[in-house]
A = this chain, B = another copy of it.
Amino acid sequence: MKLLDISEISKQTGVAASAIRHYEEKGLITSLGRRGLKRLFSADVLDQLALITLGKTAGFALDDIAKMFGPDGRPALSRPNLHLKADELDRQIERLSVLRDMIRHVAECKAPSHMECPKFQQLIRISNRRKRGRVEKKRVPERSKP
């Protein structure tokens, strides 16, 4: 298997070398060894980095990402907790859709101030309704395995 050094990984993914080191330190990825001081990575980390980047843009913390798709390939979160994360994303997607509609509306609206615009107010009410309607699901505690 061909091994890649950090500059190669960085070039192909667009992730800074310092960030890659940082991810290894936090346990999100692993290097397969060294040539001298230099880390060597398998090509798999290219996908892993894509996943990390994706998770980050979704607003997840690095620790969360590590738990969802650890470098070992087995998630450290239970199935119910993974579904909670997915549900969280569904709500986030809804919120973003409302916001996007608001921005599009602000771009076109003729009203002197968007706060006075009835349609805008309606969108705000929608977002408030969603917020209130949101079920505050608790994290299911992980059971330590025997």
Contact = CB atoms under 8 A, between A and B. Distances in A.
A115 B54 contact: no
Contact of A89 (B69, B90, B103, B121): B103
Given A95-B58, A107-B79, A100 B86 contact: yes
Contacts of A116: 73
A114 interface: yes
B44 A115 contact: yes
Given A82-B107, A115-B73, A50 B127 contact: yes
A50 to B, nearest CB: 6
Copies in the complex: 2
SS of A interface (majority): helix
Interface residues of A, number: 47
A99 B69 contact: no
Contacts of A100: 86, 89-90, 93
Contacts of A96: 58, 89, 92-93, 96
Interface of A: 44, 47-48, 50-51, 54-55, 57-59, 68-69, 72-75, 79, 82-83, 85-86, 89-90, 92-93, 95-100, 102-104, 106-108, 112-116, 121, 124, 127-128, 131
12 contacts: A48-B115, A57-B92, A58-B95, A59-B59, A72-B113, A74-B113, A74-B114, A75-B114, A79-B107, A82-B106, A86-B103, A86-B107
Leading 6 A-B pairs by shortest Cβ distance: A73-B113, A82-B107, A89-B100, A86-B103, A79-B107, A86-B104
